[in-house]
Structure formats: C-alpha cells, structure tokens
Amino acid sequence: MRYPVKLLTRIDELMEADQGKSYREQLYKNLNAATNPVDEDKPFRQYLGASVIGGACPRAMWYAFRWTHKEKHPARLQRIFDDGQIKEHSFIALLRMAGVTVHDKREDGQQYGMTAVDGHMRGHLDGVVENVPDAPGAGLAEFKTHNDKLYGKLKVSGVKETYYKYYVQTQCYMGAYQLPWALYLGYNKNDSNIYGELIPYDSKCFAHSINLAQTIVYLPTPPARCSLDPTSFDCAYCDFKDVCNQTKPVLINCRTCQACEVQKIGVVCKVENIVKSYHEQLAGCNLYRRNPCI
C-alpha cells in the first residue's frame, strides 16, 4: 500500500504552525459556496449508484434500482450520513490549505459525475486533485468518515480489504475519468485522526463493475440471494430483507410492475410502449400488476 506521507505531514505541520487559521478560512469559504446535494423531490435514485456496485449482494442492488422499498432511517443514522456529507468540506479545506488543487464542482456548481450502462449507472465524485506531493499529475479524491473500530482495521489492512465497496467506487470513478490513482482520505470520528492511501487504478475491477451493473440494470427478475441464511451479516443489515423474505409488500410504482422493462432509452411501460419520466414511474397507473418474480 502507498501512503501520502508528505501530504499528511504537511497538513499537520501547517495546522500546528497557525493553529488551524488558514484551514478555517478555507472551510468557511467552502461552506459558503456549498449547495444541497439532495433532491428532496426525488426520493428514489433513478440510477444504480457506483457507490453500491461493490456491495455484497447483487440482489439488494436490483431491489434498490427497482424501487421496491424505501428505508426510513432512524435519526441517529441520518445524522451519521449527513455528517459524512459535511465532512467532505473539511477534507477539501485541509487539502487546499496544503496547496493541493481540488476540482470539486463543475462550472454550474454541480458535482462531477460519471455515467455508464446507457446512463442507468451513475456516480458523483468528491473531487479531482492535482499537486499532491506524493503522486504525479491528477487523481481522484475520495473522502469517508469511519468509526474507531473500522478505522483501526483500515490502518492495518487498507481500503480494498476493509471497505471493498469504497474500493470499487473509486475504481469506477478512476475508470470513467481515466485517472491513474485515487487519494483516499478517511476520518476517524472518535479521535479526528486522518488515514490516507493512494489507490492505483485497477482496470479489471472497473471492467467487472461495469459488466455487473449492466447485468443488474437489464435483469427483469431479481438475481440470486447472496446468502440463504437471513441471519447472516449481510442479510441482517440489509435494507431489503423484508422484500427479499416476502414479509412486506413491495412499493407500487412502474419499476415493480410486470409491464416495466428497462431499455437503453429509459424505463419503458410495455403496455403503452413509451418511456416513463421519473414522476410517471413514481405514480404508476391503475393497470399496475406486480412483477410476480419480485
């Protein structure tokens, strides 16, 4: 594993030299320019996310893409997700303070994105960085926050072994933007330590992830379970376990209807033979018949 030792040393030295003054200046600049990344009018993702394609269960990915269920998270978990978003600004401020060039937004103020599988797979990059003292040229930046236990594992085993899903996510973005390396920064929520790793591009992982996404997107029926044991770790913590075990009905919308077909051109209703918009899919119609394979 390669570590961005010079970068992390520079960050600590600069923060100690001015006691965080230039970091805070950068941070408030970033926060003032921040936009809300969540579109409240669109509760479901229209696409299969690059952030989930390295997950343990393709069936769970299919259920998410087909809008079978929307998990309501408890307040504590929601705070964890939101804190992760806010922390991205802090990472960018640290990097800018250390002289790293961070491209985190396009000219229109939106995040840089990647698309694949005819637009049915998408992802959003935390940023592209240049002038990282430990790596030449431009690379991807990926920021995460961690609890103490997993941060400890990350330090020992690295990103690929500890968080395969995050590893795959970085590969998808590197592959899409043809970047040779990714700067992964992980923040320990317990003691504010920062872990850094330089992850090289892995073309096989990228190709495999895109092929898997292609399969999931165009499959009319859910793929096989990752486990037949509902008490296994992945199933016990799966948002879709009730759908998978048929203990709760699926949500009614076009994506769970038997007349729905995902095509290159979009999500198509085979009754009307037209592509349905996001809000039309959400509404369904009174000809709805549940996909019997779900």
Residue 219 C-beta: closest distance to ligand SF4, Å: 13
Minimum separation from the CB atom of position 192 to ligand SF4 (A): 33
Q: Which stretch binds ligand SF4 (CB under 6 A): 18-26, 84-92, 193-201, 221-229?
A: 221-229
Beta carbons of 58 and 212 less than 8 angstroms apart: yes
- Contact between 282 and 269 under an 8 Å Cβ cutoff? The reply is no
For ligand SF4, the binding residue among 94, 129, 254, 262 (CB under 6 A) is 254
Q: Which residues contact 211 (CB under 8 A, 6 or more apart)?
A: none
Q: Would you count residue 274 as binding ligand SF4 (CB under 6 A)?
A: no
234 interacts with ligand SF4 by CB under 6 A: yes
Q: What angle do helix axes 5-18 and 21-32 make, rounded to 10 degrees?
A: 100
Which residue number, 62 or 173, has a Cβ lying nearer to ligand SF4? 62
Residue 265 near ligand SF4 by CB under 6 A:
no
Candidates 238, 262, 282, 294; binder of ligand SF4 (CB under 6 A) is 238
Binding flag, residue 227, ligand SF4 (CB under 6 A): yes
Rank residues 150 and 226 by Cβ distance to ligand SF4 and give the closer one.
Answer: 226
Residues 225, 250, 262, 294: which binds ligand SF4 (CB under 6 A)? 225
- CB 189, CB 152: distance < 8 Å: no
Q: Kindly state whether residue 259 participates in binding ligand SF4, applying the rule CB under 6 A.
A: yes
CA 100 – CA 141 distance, rounded (Å): 11
Stretch that binds ligand SF4, among 6-14, 87-95, 125-133, 280-288 (CB under 6 A): 280-288
Question: Based on CB atoms, which residue is closest to ligand SF4, 96 or 225?
Answer: 225
The answer to the question of residue 219 lying near ligand SF4 (CB under 6 A) is: no
- Is 257 among the residues that bind ligand SF4 (CB under 6 A)? yes
- For residues 66 and 144, which CB has a smaller minimum distance to ligand SF4 in the complex? 66
Q: Which residues, including other chains, have CB under 8 Å from residue 185's CB and lie 6 or more apart?
A: 91, 141, 142, 143, 144, 194, 195, 196
In angstroms, the CA 136 to CA 181 distance is 9
In eight-state DSSP terms, residue 117 is G
Q: Which of 219, 202, 206 is nearest to 116 (CA)?
A: 206
State the helix-helix crossing angle for 75-97 and 5-18, rounded to 10 degrees: 90
Going 172 to 148 to 82 to 281, the CA torsion angle's sign is positive
Residues 6+ apart with CB under 8 A from 126: 88, 91, 104, 111, 140, 141, 142, 143
In this structure, the number of other CB atoms found within 10 A of the CB of residue 263 comes to 13
User: Among residue numbers 28 through 87, which ones bind ligand SF4 (CB under 6 A)?
Assistant: 57, 59-60, 63
Q: How far is CA 175 from CA 104, 162, 178, 195, 257, in A?
A: 18, 21, 5, 23, 34
The region of 39-47, 80-88, 125-133, 233-241 touching ligand SF4 under the rule CB under 6 A is 233-241
| Least distance between ligand SF4 and beta carbon 120 (Å) | 16
Among 29, 105, 189, 241, binds ligand SF4 (CB under 6 A): 241
What residues make contact with ligand SF4 under the rule CB under 6 A? 57, 59-60, 63, 225-227, 234-235, 238, 240-241, 244, 254, 257, 259-260, 269, 271, 284-285, 287-288
